[in-house]
Structure 1
């Protein structure tokens, strides 16, 4: 029976519609729909009666689907060929997948040369749900900054509404092909897999599960470095729910590497990625995955993945053709046990984390007992003897050998028991936290990354959770993550507990206790809640380090630098410590020069901050430029600290009136940071906001307004409504609109900025913004409202901040109140 495309479509439509009817009515409906074409009717009834998945065009006409797919690909390529997305020009297609197509791209605006990978959502998939998923991928990728993960460089929305993202281009091969081509042995292949585990563990620490780990998504470059790709179906643990975890995923996961819970709808956790890592271990060492389900129906996949017993690694290796360089005889019982533990059908019986899996692989490499296999005393003794055979000479009597190995076995047994108990405690902790994302047992659909991090913190604060060293290590990670999410209050709680634990276990003068107190002060500084308390902590650490470590120790220099930086960046202009900032940082610089040398990058960083603290304009620039030059001598092109310093230098150049030089440097620094961290990173946003400020300062108002509005879009995408960062782009828009003589448009963003600044208790900036709003209201003829804003600004400066009457800002506002309609001086932030 030869059918054309129209016949297949008619057949598929009839089958799809009749399946919505009760079983007894389906054949009658088919006869009504297809009675004029007996051959179509026969085919439909045969498909309907078949004991298989519901019939569809996909099973009956795969060649038609392939043709349609090729046609769609061709149209996509024609649509995107040579188009520009921001500064990026699209080249030929590299790959396609369920969550988008990847094209080769390059930087085309002349700023610098760079090849990239541009990922686009196919036009045929751009419904609301898929666009939301694609944007979620962009947000996830922005959080993953790790040398083993391809970095997000940029992202946005095309003129036609198509979302896009730009990733660094990795020139490499899939990990299995790379290993086979070089005939790597078992140890070398496991070392590669350990790199993968490290990158996956980093993602898990950022509460992200990849969910599609497979060789094609793991490339190895010419230098043997692993790079993890494609977080297209990755999910934040905080966002996982039954619908999001499974239902829409079918065509996008890779069945042979998918864990059973990805088919059944159970909660997806870090153990889901562990299953894929176990399958990858099979592929690298045995040439095949433990269970191949590709080609089966969905119900067949579900049944096989949930119930089928996985063959051992060695049996898979012996049953097929071994990968080149691998010997089946090298796969021992311990390696079999590791592989089997990783691919258990039940998630709770696998390794809890990628780190646990990696630890067992390292123990196997080091000939140590592995967690996956219960260890007897004699086997431990044998392993000990094998590891130390050169140290056990032939002259040692058999009795001595037995005594040594037995003693070592007993000692290692105690150590292993302690490690096992600790590992089980931590695994229990992590499993409990992962379950928070399950709506049946945890916080349900209301859980988000902030809620999950808070849950992690509460669990880590529980004194029964684990030993003190483990709790400290966990709290360190949690504190850093909380600060990254700008949860300053929670980060401060974590840092207080770390400090308490260090004091209890080591005493107040131990270097680790002093380091914990320093980080507590840094967290308190970040919170901006109590300047005096922050100052006291920094001063105390400085005094203790001087006594304990000596006046010339680098840690003492660090504390001098901390205190000077606090006064420089975080104190009010009238604070007495402001005058001490330059001297404190100069003392730190002298110690670093003596201890580390004048050319050390850290010396350059301190010299730069000394420049910031310098009042003399020429000396300020000289010190800052020398500090940058020292750092540049050993920096990589994407050195983040250097890029930030260049952005700061641009502001100083702007204050010196060197407009073009300042704008060029600010633009280059911002673009460099965006290239390294993505447009949504907090520092990228701040640097672009600073660029907008320079454009405004030097009269390039339309460009400044465009930049401020883009910054505001980015800020709203990553922070809540009342976050302080929103105020800066809002104020910038208002001030720029005032410069463009558009006061009616300026009023709204200025009022919004004031609300944010009041919420964050930023009195000085609120006063400056109220003056700007007063100017807008005055320009609109609303004199009484304008005077009210000026009076509120004066109240903030005089009563809250203690400014004197001759303060330049105070004097400028006083003049506004008495000048009537005449021109008055500007008030700068």
Structure 2
């Protein structure tokens, strides 16, 4: 289930019993209420910002969800902003230890909600007591949990309320799996219900800086402290945390841990192994500078304990290193010389591994320090703009700081520039994404060489950004060189296959779908083999392959493939997950390409609301859906209904990308087609000519979009009475479609139909008859 949001400053978050009673907080919602496609079943809990209900989703699929609804009496602009940020942050997280977000929306009164994965499990503390897991099992569950927290930190989110009641444990394939179920974002609520920046968290697990309300000092290391308290709870069943009548202060807790390391017998810590007490002392250090620098560093040290490796938290003496080596290599003592050689070799290997571990830890600390403070300097007033405004400001600040603060750590800077590039892509700011993707690639090449793994790792983001900004011609030679050299350089096969997938996308953007499928097919099959069919790169590669098959009119292959992808991903992610929405749009386009316009219309209308909720009204994705919907309506003769979709898409693409971008040119062509159907011939003619000029400037060779614009231009020229010009345009469109897509292309009938209309007007009956035949392809 989904736990409530951040508690107030003096109240712990609790899960309510299953009493079917809604809270007495003035809310009208309770069991039986309907919110969007959800029917509330049971009130699960509440916190400072919101209430959580078990709900039944009834459409488009049936499933149980945990629905989080904001408290209406605190729904001012700033609260709504934080709620929106929490929803956006969760939607970007995909980790087995974090409950997934399925959907978001607003009630009829305008109060926001989002639906999350409903987790059927028991709290971490209850699991510890009832399942009585051994130490290794407890630590493995804890490591998975910490990796999930690190996943959140890498996306700029500090949890601030980590505790056993916010962690459920389920059993998956016989293995215990932890799941974080609450991500309230760094605010509390005072007794009157108004938003404040007061203390948020739960006292037993709260870092000293949270307790002291030192907000500027709160970063990822605050969560590290809370994780340390959770681990202590998991190891000694909270005896030391809850043994007295008052909460143990962080300094007192740390003092007891340090004393136990010096030989003092503490009955509450007797069951905790000495090395783990060292680890806890570092995680629970009152001064955050003395803690693990990141959640990843904490997880790594716990894993070292399980693997019998020396812990970073334990002083690195020769005696300790030798002891750990001997523990890992227990062999019968046969010859003293053999033992001496083994110990000597072990010390050399251990020293080397410690040096390597320290280098990796330093890199992890720098990365974590940078990312964990991303939200620290943001003015809360910025959040009043809601949606992406705050996230964009945070990202802009991170971009400015990266070069300044990480110049002395180039390997870290490469990673950070890549993260920033991908984040800008998510915000649809493709120019900024290109800037940072290029910076990451150039730095990796300058530091390690063009054939280094780090350089290859930056290529997908860079080439994607080039395609998104209309520079596929620059991405093409870059990818071709990298793929050719990759095998010789010993680059991992999966990375090469992902580059071939990027090459397929680039070739398609350049109008070379037949060449693209030559790259796409082996990339898809290879990634399935290496990574499994459900890995994200494999899914993306199959989606691209389906799109290319549809480009080549192989709908009998493309449609089953996309339906299978939608079914598989909907089952695990939900029908409205961003990846599934993308696939559903592709299916709608396949319907339209195969002239099943009514089916395309139904799918696109079902997509519009969830896309607008998740990406924003006026986002690139929403505009894509609107443009496609306009086409489905126009092709069915619903010209008046289609008009606003065409106009809105065209105007917004111009605003987002400028007139010379591929999407703007396609939108201009589509809008011109609608203008012609609406009887606005002169406007249609002018717009088709402008789109054709822009396309030939950017793509001088044969291109499928150019061919479609020529068809539209020819139709407009017929309507305007420019019959000679129309013939030239339409015959050129026929030639180009055959050159690009082949003589059986499904795009040819539109050109033939326009030529029949033209020759009818000219009285050339032999030509009318000729272009009535499907086999007629060339003059």
Give the TM-score normalised by the residue count of structure 1.
0.68
1:142 CA drift (Å):
1.5
Out of 164, 184, 187, the position equivalent to 1:215 is 164
Q: 1:592 to 1:727 in 2, by over 3 A?
A: closer
Q: 1:125 to 1:365 in 2, by over 3 A?
A: same
Match of 2:232 in 1: 282
Is the CA contact (8 Å cut-off) linking 1:172 and 1:219 kept in structure 2?
yes
1:358 CA drift (Å):
1.0
Q: Point out the more displaced range, 85-94 or 127-136.
A: 127-136
Runs of 5+ unmatched residues, structure 2: 1-9, 189-193, 384-389, 701-705, 724-729, 731-749, 752-779
Match of 1:755 in 2: 655
1:465 equivalenced with 2:406 (yes/no) = no
1:771 equivalenced with 2:771 (yes/no) = no
Match of 1:623 in 2: 557
Match of 2:712 in 1: 809
Match of 2:738 in 1: none
1:225 equivalenced with 2:170 (yes/no) = no
Is the CA contact (8 Å cut-off) linking 2:156 and 2:374 kept in structure 1?
no
SS at structure 2 position matched to 1:311: helix
Is the CA contact (8 Å cut-off) linking 2:50 and 2:71 kept in structure 1?
yes
* Bigger radius of gyration among the two: 1
Match of 2:727 in 1: none
Q: 1:556 to 1:228 in 2, by over 3 A?
A: closer
1:395 equivalenced with 2:330 (yes/no) = no
1:341 CA drift (Å):
1.0
Give runs of aligned pairs for residues 536-547 of structure 1, distance below 5 A.
536-544=477-485
1:189 equivalenced with 2:138 (yes/no) = yes
Q: 1:786 to 1:429 in 2, by over 3 A?
A: closer
SS at structure 1 position matched to 2:235: helix
The separation in 2 between residues aligned to 1:123 and 1:502, in whole angstroms, is: 50
Over residues 195-235 of structure 1, what are the superposed CA-to-partner deviations in whole Å (9 max), with x where a residue is unaligned? Answer: 11010000001110111111111000133111001112358
Is the CA contact (8 Å cut-off) linking 1:777 and 1:785 kept in structure 2?
no
1:631 CA drift (Å):
6.6
Q: 1:421 to 1:759 in 2, by over 3 A?
A: same
Q: 1:599 to 1:755 in 2, by over 3 A?
A: closer
Is the CA contact (8 Å cut-off) linking 2:521 and 2:545 kept in structure 1?
yes
Give the TM-score normalised by the residue count of structure 2.
0.72
Over residues 309-335 of structure 1, what are the superposed CA-to-partner deviations in whole Å (9 max), with x where a residue is unaligned? Answer: 552289699867x7xxxxx55523321
The separation in 2 between residues aligned to 1:597 and 1:363, in whole angstroms, is: 26
Name the count of aligned residue pairs.
Answer: 677
Is the CA contact (8 Å cut-off) linking 1:726 and 1:756 kept in structure 2?
no
Is the CA contact (8 Å cut-off) linking 1:103 and 1:119 kept in structure 2?
yes
Q: 1:170 to 1:760 in 2, by over 3 A?
A: farther
The separation in 2 between residues aligned to 1:559 and 1:232, in whole angstroms, is: 38
Is the CA contact (8 Å cut-off) linking 1:549 and 1:556 kept in structure 2?
no
The separation in 2 between residues aligned to 1:772 and 1:116, in whole angstroms, is: 44
1:566 equivalenced with 2:514 (yes/no) = no
Give runs of aligned pairs for residues 136-151 of structure 1, distance below 5 A.
136-151=85-100
1:96 equivalenced with 2:46 (yes/no) = yes
Is the CA contact (8 Å cut-off) linking 1:727 and 1:754 kept in structure 2?
no
1:199 equivalenced with 2:148 (yes/no) = yes
SS at structure 2 position matched to 1:341: helix
SS at structure 1 position matched to 2:554: helix
Over residues 738-772 of structure 1, what are the superposed CA-to-partner deviations in whole Å (9 max), with x where a residue is unaligned? Answer: 83369699867754444334267335225325526
Is the CA contact (8 Å cut-off) linking 1:564 and 1:581 kept in structure 2?
yes
SS at structure 2 position matched to 1:222: strand
Q: 1:663 to 1:767 in 2, by over 3 A?
A: closer
Give runs of aligned pairs for residues 57-206 of structure 1, distance below 5 A.
73-74=23-24, 79-109=29-59, 111-206=60-155
Give runs of aligned pairs for residues 417-566 of structure 1, distance below 5 A.
417-424=355-362, 426-428=364-366, 430-431=368-369, 434-435=372-373, 437-439=375-377, 448-455=393-400, 457-458=402-403, 462=407, 464-465=408-409, 468=411, 479-489=421-431, 491-492=433-434, 495-496=437-438, 499=441, 512=453, 515-516=456-457, 518-519=459-460, 522-544=463-485, 562-566=502-506
Q: 1:387 to 1:338 in 2, by over 3 A?
A: same
The separation in 1 between residues aligned to 2:586 and 2:406, in whole angstroms, is: 38
The separation in 2 between residues aligned to 1:759 and 1:207, in whole angstroms, is: 35
Is the CA contact (8 Å cut-off) linking 2:483 and 2:499 kept in structure 1?
yes
Higher RCO (CA-CA < 8 Å; seq separation 6+): 2
Match of 1:580 in 2: 515
1:579 CA drift (Å):
5.2
Q: 1:819 to 1:90 in 2, by over 3 A?
A: farther
Out of 619, 624, 640, the position equivalent to 1:728 is 624
Q: 1:426 to 1:582 in 2, by over 3 A?
A: closer
Over residues 60-87 of structure 1, what are the superposed CA-to-partner deviations in whole Å (9 max), with x where a residue is unaligned? Answer: xxxxxx9xxx998257676333122121
1:375 equivalenced with 2:316 (yes/no) = yes
Is the CA contact (8 Å cut-off) linking 2:27 and 2:71 kept in structure 1?
no
Over residues 286-307 of structure 1, what are the superposed CA-to-partner deviations in whole Å (9 max), with x where a residue is unaligned? Answer: 22276569998xxxx9x94578
